[in-house]
Amino acid sequence: MTETAFRNLPSVDRLVADPRVAAELGGLPRHRLVELAREELAAARAAIAAGNPAPDYESLLQAIIRRGLGLMILSLRRVINATGVIIHTNLGRAPLSRAARAAIEAVAAGYSNLEFDLETGERGHRHAHLEELLVRVTGAEAGFAVNNNASAVLLGLMTLGHGREVIVSRGQAVEIGGGFRIPDVLRQSGARLVEVGTTNRTYLQDYETAIGPETAAILRVHRSNFRIVGFTTEPEVAELADLAHRRGIVLLDDLGSGCLIDTTRFGLPKEPLIQESIAAGADLVFFSGDKLLGGPQAGIIVGRRELVERLRRHPLARAVRIDKLCLAGLAATLTHYLKDEALTEIPVWWMIARSADEVRARAAAWADQLAGFAPVDVVPVKSAVGGGSLPGETLPSFALAVRPRNGDVVGLARRLRLRTPPVVGRVEADQLLLDPRTVLPEDEEDLLGALRQALSG
């Protein structure tokens, strides 16, 4: 029986020559089609040997076509975010401004003056494209960028703390996303962690008592993805800076989310501002480019010029340096802050700044356009800032609630996710919620078209 099943399997040539393969996978050369056919046949033989039924010809053919299409369609692609989570880590965090996208495209399209001084005709430095912008918007003496904030913190600790002690409050020895733990980073950098205080209360005296001849720095870490509330105490940045400078050590401030705009303007709790940390005396400040800053992934380092130069010259700096595309997008993003236009041009700030009434009006307009396709309603919801910024904080918002006539809300959500471009919402209480706050204006027609088709189908 098994031998018959093996003999009944189609040949590679028969599968590859099927007209449907050419129709669906015409963009792949024949040797790639042969590879796919051989792999599917090998899997079929293994299944037969394990006592399972042999797949029929049609199943084999469709498996080849599915895998071939998967090779030709890029896995990483644009998604419409209707979840209401503004900085959505799983959906790529901050969407870029039009100017940032244009800057990236311009640099990607050909050669650039990445490390070339156009005035002198001599070799230049990639950091020159950012430093003046960083100085202007943060008030620091100097600055540069690496590939992410974890790298920025590691570079700072390795340069200034290797072989020496770095003091951290026990309440700040935290784990950020992806298993990034402050104690582990200190260990990797070669610095020795000295924890002071308790989880909820650390006093200035705790730091002062811990400073000794082997101390290199105080590291302050912003708890950007959780809060400790209630019976709590911790020194202000200015107090730590004064202590550090009196004792001949440096204050390093890891602010994580990279905020340059006062969040209290929008009814949110105050997020630490980079420029305030610099003004308070922090020697180096580290922050992300792709969170509240609203740019591409990057780790940004600003502070005293002498320390910034030491970090730039460290061998690790080359291993974690920023690439030309992120550099172009980050420069364009910083220019929005320079021109006081972040609230209108940077998508994450445009989303944060929208009032609940504005969001409700968009949701109502969507409901009007979908009348007749399914029962829809406009309901109050909460939008989250997300992305390790302002933990647990939300903005009042409104969403379009869709209830398909067949009752299959999960199926509707899946159909929308599998469209091009995919639309991602959230399922709650037997309805699909789509929050306009996180839908870019240029994505609105695609979202509505996807909904009409998914509901009609």
Q: What CATH number is given to the structural domain containing 354?
A: 3.90.1150.180
Which range, 169-173, 302-306, 391-395, is most confident? Answer: 302-306
pLDDT of residue 384: 92
**Least confident span in 167-171, 228-232, 247-251, 374-378:** 228-232
Q: For 306-313, what is the mean pLDDT?
A: 97
Residues 9, 117: one domain? Answer: no
Domain boundary, last residue among 287, 319, 342: 342
Domain boundary, last residue among 312, 342, 372: 342
Q: What CATH number is given to the structural domain containing 297?
A: 3.40.640.10
Specify burial of residue 452 (Cβ count, 10 A radius: 0-12, 13-18, 19+). Answer: middle
Length of the chain: 457
10 prior amide bond cis, ω within 30: no
Question: What is the distance between the alpha carbons of residues 58 and 416, in angstroms, rounded to a whole number?
Answer: 27
Query: CB–CB of 72/28 below 8 Å?
Result: yes
Answer with the residue of higher pLDDT: 337 or 229. Answer: 337
Q: For 107-123, what is the mean pLDDT?
A: 95
Residues 119, 218: one domain? Answer: yes
pLDDT band at residue 407 under the 50/70/90 scheme: confident
pLDDT of residue 256: 87
pLDDT for 307 beyond 90: yes
- How does pLDDT run across 25-49, given as a tens digit for each residue? 988 999 999 999 999 999 999 999 9
Name the percent of the chain lying above pLDDT 70: 96
pLDDT of residue 23: 92
Domain count for the chain, please give it: 3
Query: CB–CB of 224/172 below 8 Å?
Result: no
Query: Which tokens belong to 44?
Result: 């079929």
Residues 66, 170: one domain? Answer: no
**Least confident span in 219-223, 272-276, 332-336:** 219-223
How do beta strands 192-196 and 165-169 pair? parallel
Domain boundary, last residue among 342, 363, 385: 342
Residues 356, 431: one domain? Answer: yes
Which candidate, 346, 329, 341, 352, places its Cα nearest to that of 438?
352
Structural domain for 21, as ranges: 2-72
Q: For 91-97, what is the mean pLDDT?
A: 96
pLDDT band at residue 233 under the 50/70/90 scheme: confident
Residues 353, 338: one domain? Answer: no
Residues 148, 40: one domain? Answer: no
pLDDT band at residue 157 under the 50/70/90 scheme: very high
Q: For 208-228, what is the mean pLDDT?
A: 85
Query: CB–CB of 285/253 below 8 Å?
Result: yes
Residues 398, 284: one domain? Answer: no
**Least confident span in 69-78, 342-351, 408-417:** 69-78
**What residue has token string 């003046």?**
132
Residues 164, 211: one domain? Answer: yes
Note the Cα 105 to chain centre separation in Å.
Answer: 20
pLDDT for 388 beyond 80: no
Note the Cα 3 to chain centre separation in Å.
Answer: 53
- How does pLDDT run across 317-351, given as a tens digit for each residue? 999 999 999 999 999 999 999 999 999 999 999 99
- How does pLDDT run across 170-213, given as a tens digit for each residue? 887 776 665 667 888 888 889 999 999 887 888 899 999 999 99
Q: For 36-65, what is the mean pLDDT?
A: 93
Residues 303, 407: one domain? Answer: no
Query: Which tokens belong to 220?
Result: 């302050």
pLDDT for 226 beyond 90: no
Q: For 225-244, what is the mean pLDDT?
A: 81
Residues 114, 20: one domain? Answer: no
Name the percent of the chain lying above pLDDT 90: 79
Residues 18, 131: one domain? Answer: no
pLDDT of residue 372: 85
Specify burial of residue 357 (Cβ count, 10 A radius: 0-12, 13-18, 19+). Answer: exposed
Specify burial of residue 124 (Cβ count, 10 A radius: 0-12, 13-18, 19+). Answer: middle
Query: CB–CB of 33/16 below 8 Å?
Result: yes
**Least confident span in 161-165, 223-227, 382-386:** 223-227
Query: Which tokens belong to 372?
Result: 């007749």
Residues 48, 140: one domain? Answer: no
Which candidate, 48, 36, 64, places its Cα nearest to that of 9?
48
Which range, 198-207, 251-260, 383-392, is most confident? Answer: 251-260
Query: Which tokens belong to 63?
Result: 């498996």
pLDDT of residue 7: 87
Query: CB–CB of 411/283 below 8 Å?
Result: no
Question: What is the distance between the alpha carbons of residues 445 and 423, in angstroms, rounded to a whole number?
Answer: 12
